[in-house]
Structures are given as structure tokens and as C-alpha cells.
Amino acid sequence: MSYNVQPLRTQQEINDFLFCLRRNKNADRDVFLFLIGINSGLRMSDIVKLKKQDLISSKNPRIAEKKTGKTRILYLSSLQDLIQEYTKDLEPEDYLFPSTKGGHVEVNTVYQMFQKVAKLLGRDDIGTHTLRKTFGYHYYKKTKDVSILMEIFGHSSEKITKRYIGINEDEISETLLNFRLGF
């Protein structure tokens, strides 16, 4: 089985995903997790471990990424209202995404939740990296700045970043859309 996780490329795809998440038992938590993911570009392993104190420490808090160990600045100023509302009843040391069994929700639990959403949406290309790729895809489409995105993701080349967010396929398709020779 190939692992072909893709970004949500349109606002409608994002809305459809949110529609499904809002029907979950823990809808508030799951929707907030999704919104943090598509607006930060963090890996799921870093998202699930976030605590209130991680996000309210400043407008641009810093976290240590689990995979790389590097310090990453989060630019979440556009989400401040949502963050304040979601965290208002939490203690600073509380996990943002608690598990019903204690501690924080596990990456595998999020994956299983996303697989249920994928099934409802008739998709086989959804995984936990979908959020990170969605962030990257829309950031690139808006700014066309692959070098900054490459830095955000910690990638070593623009080629890797463009392939990661699926932009190469889109750009090739767009350039060949009305390309015809010999007619």
C-alpha cells in the first residue's frame, strides 16, 4: 500500500473536513486541533503535546520540535481570539488536546479520527500530515515564497518542499491545461 497523503487544496475541502469534525464527540478539541494544524504547519507529534502555557506565553511562542529538536517560532497572531476562547477554562499546564484516558491525545488516535473523516469524504489520501501539507500548500499559493516555506518546514531544498506540498503536480497541470501543438 502506498502512502499518498495530500493537502486539502480548496476552501471547500477544508470546510467539508471541519463539517465532519464538528460531529465528533470531542468536536471542540478536534476542530481546534485541526485549525492549529492548518495554520501552523506543525507536525502532529508537536501539536498533540501542546499545553496552554505553550500558546499563551507570547503572540509568537517558541516550542522545541520533537523530530528535529530545533526551536520553532509559532506565528499564531491571527488565531488569538480562537486560542483565548478555547483555553479560557484551562490551567496553564493543561494539555490543549487531552485524551479521555488522561494525558494528551496520541498521534495514532488523531490518525484514526482522520481516517473516519476520510471515509466520510470518500478520500484515501488523508493522514496526520494532511494538516501540515495543507498549511504549506496554501502558504505557497498565497505567497509564492518557497524559500520561506522551506525554512518554516526545515527542508534542505525548494524541490523537497514543493514535492512535499504537492505543488509540482498542480503547476505542471496548470501549465499544460491548454497546451496543444500541431492543431
**Catalytic center residues:** 43, 67, 129, 132, 155, 164
What is the chain's Cα-based Rg? 18
Q: Are the CB atoms for 127 and 7 separated by under 8 Å? A: no
CB neighbours of residue 49 within 10 Å? 18
| Residue tagged 495530500 (cell numbers) | 6
Q: Are the CB atoms for 95 and 51 separated by under 8 Å? A: yes
**Angle at alpha carbon of residue 109, lines to 104 and 113, rounded to 5°:** 125
- List % helix, strand, coil for the chain (3-state, nearest 5): 55, 5, 40
For residue 73, the SS3 value is strand
H/E stretch holding 89: none
Q: Are the CB atoms for 25 and 98 separated by under 8 Å? A: no
CB neighbours of residue 61 within 10 Å? 17
